[in-house]
Amino acid sequence: MSDPATIRIVIPLTIRKRNGRPKILPPDDLVPDTGGVDPHVLKAIARAWRWRWQLESGAASTIHDIAAAEKLSDRYVGRLVRLAYLSPEVLEHLAIRRVPPALSLADLIALADRPWTEQIEAVAG
């Protein structure tokens, strides 16, 4: 009997720290290009806009309704929906130009309460 053939598969992974935690990143050619913007930030902005639309259109009457439908906490939805109120310049900076923000997602949420002129200064760094 012959020995079974051994196949070795090598996937070059990179370990980077994101938000203070180590994260294993796949090779660049396997990941869609987000232009350097964290995909979590883009997803959070998209969710915030969807929730804002639901509230404004009457599809959902309260944040509690959205949280129940998404199986999330009211507090989380309430914090995240603030991203829908970022200035148009900040949204263009992040979503269209795909320039990575100088702030974390939590900082962007807190930034939504500030005037629009201060927001673009903080994001552009």
**Considering its fold, how many domains does the chain have in total?**
1
Look at 16-20, 35-39, 60-64, 92-96 and tell me which has the smallest mean pLDDT.
35-39
The closest alpha carbon to 123, from 53, 47, 46, 95, belongs to 95
Check residue 33 and give its pLDDT: 56
Does pLDDT of 112 surpass 80? Answer: yes
Can you give the CATH number for the domain in which 108 is found?
Answer: 1.10.10
Check residue 35 and give its pLDDT: 58
Percent of the chain with pLDDT over 90: 31
15 within domain boundaries: no
Residue 47 belongs to domain spanning: 33-124
68 within domain boundaries: yes
The 8 Å CB, 24+ separation contacts for 65-71 are none
40 within domain boundaries: yes
20 within domain boundaries: no
Check residue 107 and give its pLDDT: 86
pLDDT tens by residue, 39-77:
788 889 999 999 999 999 999 999 999 999 999 999 999
Question: Is the overall model pTM greater than 0.75, yes or no?
Answer: no
What's the chain's length in residues?
125
- The CA distance from 45 to 82, in Å, is 9
26 within domain boundaries: no
- The CA distance from 32 to 94, in Å, is 16
25 within domain boundaries: no
Q: Residue 29 burial (CB < 10 Å; 0-12/13-18/19+)?
A: exposed
pLDDT tens by residue, 80-92:
999 999 888 888 8
* Secondary structure class of 22 (helix, strand, coil): strand
Does pLDDT of 36 surpass 70? Answer: no
91 within domain boundaries: yes
